Copies of this chain bind each other. A is one copy, B any other.
Amino acid sequence: MARDRLIAGGAIWTLDPTVGVAEAIALRDGKVVTVGTNAEVRAALHADYEYIDLAGRSVVPGICDAHIHLLWSALLADQIDLQEVASFDHALEIIRQHAERLPADAWVLGSGWDHSLWQRDWPTASELDQVTGGRPAFITRKDLHSAWVNNAALNCANISKFSSDPDGGSIGRDATGEPNGMLFENGQLAVKACIPEPSAAQKETSIQAFIKRMHQRGITSIHVPEGPDCFAAVQTLYGRGALEMRILHHLRMDLLEHAVAMGLKSGLGDAWLRFGNLKIFSDGSLGSATAHMLEPFDNLPANAPHPYGIPMHDREDLFATIDRALANDISVIMHAIGDAANRTVLDAIEAALKANPESLQPSLGKGALAARVPNRIEHAQLLHPADIRRFGQLGVIASMQPIHATSDISVADRFWGQRAQSAYAWRSLQASGAILAFGSDAPVESWDPWAGIHAAVTRQRPDGSPDGGWYPEQRLSLEEALWAYTVGPAITSGEQAIKGSLGVGKLADLVILEEDLAQVAPQQLAKVQVAQTIIEGQTVWEG
């Protein structure tokens, strides 16, 4: 067995209410064996242990991102990111270095460039050819409305001077009519169709690498709403002993009947990998004005086609699907942005719980790993004030992404007006008895949990605007925000008995920060540095 580890010399934020901030913590066999004062902890140690001196730094429980698109994020992370690259030569150099690491027949993929920063006209296929070593390349502009491709990519798609522009798109051309490497709108589709789906092995490799990145910011657990290829990949990694992240993996809606046919229920798995909930979209998004609203969006044009947004399902269908899931002990994870979407989903869960009273009694199984996984609503961005208390009453988790609030300030003010008072209503939800579970929704937003913690504590953008925070009465304290990234998600995966806080007997998943967290100004929270990430007592990353 590995030696015991003693960590002391700084503040240990246990998030265990019976302990609070401790002086020392000891780890044994992957669990917290004692936590408390220096004297208490040393008394419980074996003679031979490893001492980690915090020297004034601090410790928090391992962080959980309760909503991250793992495979999508991982594949994107493997691509070139040209956001804010200010010179064309630098962009080419980034592309060259990336391409050199790829197999000879791989596609060079990327996004994020903005030629207005480069003070030049559109980039060209022949310029891209010079740095891609014969590989086809497809690199989207930051707005996704155009793409820069090379000649190998044009050849793959059989795009030549004789090609006509597709409907809704165009092919950039030089003075002679030859394609020049720019594709606009639907002009991109022919090349996109040539890009091969990554193999299962590539997906596994990408996920494994992305997990290592997450360790660098203190993430030890994630909840993943993705498809069967992602679920298969993480099982393969686990089967090889190469899964270094605790995962609750959800089920795509169209797969419900497969799970029912097999008799598979939410919660099967262990502390590394569990089968979670049925993912159902109930409405669209705020930015697209497709969130489902009780009253029309503000400031829409007079001829807006759907002033109340777009519910994704007939009410009856939605009720029936949720009932079908709960009747088969498959919990739901509901995407709901608008106040009408949230109300409808709460109504449907309430009805399904009444029709399936067994579902009302989630209970802890042996070792707490078989607990019924709770139902949850994702985003829950705009709530009618009357619906806030229903989360706690119905045992529905409010799974939210603080960074959405600060990214959305302008559009929320514009589309929701005064209603935004109960948007991203963390404080009101918490006060009403709801469990908060925080995450990122990456790659839609940054997956960095410290960016989320900054947003939760300040309700300010990274640049500090607006002064005093946006609807600051909904801000959380730092400890509350951390709770929603640790204890809250553990409750949400039905694992509060084994993780979330740093109580005795719980899994030794924890993060050593470079700072004394109590001394970090709220405005600096996004910049907190991680010194070491520990999962099950073992260091998985050290800075």
> Which of B239, B365, B372 contacts A329, CB < 8 Å?
B239
Q: Is the CB of A366 within 8 A of B231?
A: no
* Chain B residues whose CB sits within 8 angstroms of the CB of A265 once the complex forms: 232, 235-236, 239
Give CA–CA (A363, B227) in the complex, Å.
25
**Chain B proximity mask over A330-369: 1 for CB below 8 Å, otherwise 0:** 0000000000000000000000000000000011111101
**In A359-416, which residues have CB < 8 Å from any B CB?**
362-367, 369-372
- Docked CA distance A259–B235 (Å): 13
- Chain A 504-521, CB within 8 Å of chain B: the 1/0 string? 010000000000000000
Contact across chains for A231 and B264 when beta carbons are under 8 A apart: yes
Residue in B227, B235, B371 whose beta carbon sits within 8 Å of that of A268 in the complex: B235
Q: Which residue from chain B places its CB closest to the CB of A364 in the assembled complex?
A: B241
A433 an interface residue at 8 Å Cβ cutoff?
no
Q: How far is the CB of A88 from chain B (nearest CB, A)?
A: 42
**A residues 485-530 with Cβ under 8 Å of B?**
505
The answer to whether the Cβ of A238 comes within 8 Å of any Cβ in the partner chain is yes
Cα distance A269–B239 in the bound complex, in angstroms:
12
Residues 207 to 244 of chain A near chain B (Cβ within 8 Å): 227-232, 235-236, 238-241, 243
Chain A positions 9 through 29: 1 when the CB is less than 8 Å from some CB of chain B, otherwise 0? 000000000000000000000
Q: Which residues of B contact A235 (CB under 8 A)?
A: 263-265, 267-268, 329, 370
A217 to B268, CA, bound (A): 28
Does A114 lie at the interface of the complex (its beta carbon under 8 Å from any beta carbon of B)?
no
A506 CB to closest chain B CB (Å) equals 13
> In whole Å, how far is A242's beta carbon from the nearest beta carbon of chain B?
8
Q: When chains A and B are docked, how far (Å) is the Cα of A145 from the Cα of B367?
A: 48
Partner of A228, one of B255, B261, B269, B366: B261
Q: Name the contact of A365 in the complex, choosing from B230, B241, B363 (C-beta under 8 A).
A: B241
> Is A262 touching B363 in the complex (CB atoms < 8 A)?
no
Chain B nearest CB, measured from A211 CB (Å): 13
Inside 8 A of A364's CB, which chain B residues have their CB?
241
* Centre residue among A227, A239, A255, A259 by max chain B CB count within 10 A: A239
Given the contacts A239-B370, A255-B261, A261-B258, A272 and B232 also touching, CB distance less than 8 Å: no
| Cα–Cα distance between A460 and B270 once the two chains are bound (Å) | 43
CB of A273 within 8 A of chain B? yes
Given A268-B275, A270-B269, A365 and B229 contact (CB-CB distance below 8 Å): no
The answer to whether B370 and A231 have CB atoms under 8 Å apart is no
Contact (A268, B269) CB under 8 Å given A235-B329, A251-B262, A259-B262? yes
Q: Does A536 contact B (CB under 8 A)?
A: yes
Cross-chain contact B536 with A243 (CB below 8 angstroms): no
A1 at the interface (CB under 8 A from B): yes
> In the bound complex, how far is the Cα of B427 from the Cα of A6, in angstroms?
51
Closest beta carbon of chain B to A273's beta carbon, Å:
7
Partner of A241, one of B230, B239, B363, B536: B363
Give, as a whole number of angstroms, the nearest-CB distance from A409 to chain B.
38
What's the nearest-Cβ distance from chain B to residue A539, in Å? 15
Closest 3 CB pairs of A and B: A228-B263, A232-B263, A270-B270
List 23 A-B pairs, Cβ < 8 Å. Answer: A228-B263, A232-B328, A235-B263, A235-B264, A235-B370, A236-B265, A238-B267, A238-B365, A238-B366, A238-B370, A239-B362, A239-B370, A239-B372, A240-B363, A241-B364, A243-B365, A243-B366, A251-B262, A258-B258, A258-B259, A268-B275, A270-B367, A272-B365
Supply 17 further A-B pairs (C-beta < 8 A) apart from A231-B264, A239-B362. A228-B263, A230-B263, A231-B263, A232-B265, A235-B263, A235-B265, A238-B366, A238-B370, A239-B363, A239-B370, A240-B365, A243-B370, A251-B262, A262-B262, A270-B367, A272-B365, A273-B370
List residues of chain A with CB under 8 Å of any chain B CB: 1, 227-232, 235-236, 238-241, 243, 251, 255, 258-259, 261-265, 267-273, 275, 328-329, 362-367, 369-372, 505, 536
